[in-house]
């Protein structure tokens, strides 16, 4: 029994250490709002920052989400794109989606 508890604790601690932290924020500005939260992502190792140039709206989320069918990776690797309609940035590292 002690061995099972030890394995569960080890797995829990390892999961927390291996998860990436990203900003979660949806607002009407490129900068972080007062409601921005640091979240532990459930999967993946990227953060996402996206917005459009037509309005000052921006979204910061984890680069991977859990759906009914499993993991959905919004970001596969580090990349950044800026164009007329908007922009996005996929980055690796804790809280890397602070700025574009």
β-pair partners for 49:
60, 89
The per-type count for the chain, helices as H runs and strands as E runs, is: 1, 8
- Cβ distance 33 to 71 under 8 Å? no
18-74: pLDDT as tens digits:
689 999 999 988 889 999 999 999 999 999 999 988 887 899 999 999 999 999 999
Phi, psi angles (nearest 5°) of residue 17? -70, -40
- Cβ distance 77 to 91 under 8 Å? no
pLDDT at 31: 87
- Cβ distance 100 to 87 under 8 Å? yes
Q: Which numeric CATH code is attached to 2-98?
A: 2.10.60.10
């Amino acid at each position: 029994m002690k061995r099972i508890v030890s394995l569960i604790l080890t797995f829990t601690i390892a999961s927390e250490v291996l998860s990436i932290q990203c900003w979660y924020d949806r607002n009407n500005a490129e900068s972080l709002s007062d409601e921005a939260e640091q979240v532990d992502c459930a999967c993946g190792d990227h953060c996402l920052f996206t917005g459009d140039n037509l309005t000052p709206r921006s979204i910061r989320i984890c680069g991977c989400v859990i759906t009914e069918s499993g993991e959905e990776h919004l970001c596969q690797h580090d990349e950044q794109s800026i164009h007329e309609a908007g922009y996005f940035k996929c980055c690796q590292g804790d809280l890397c989606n602070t700025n574009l």
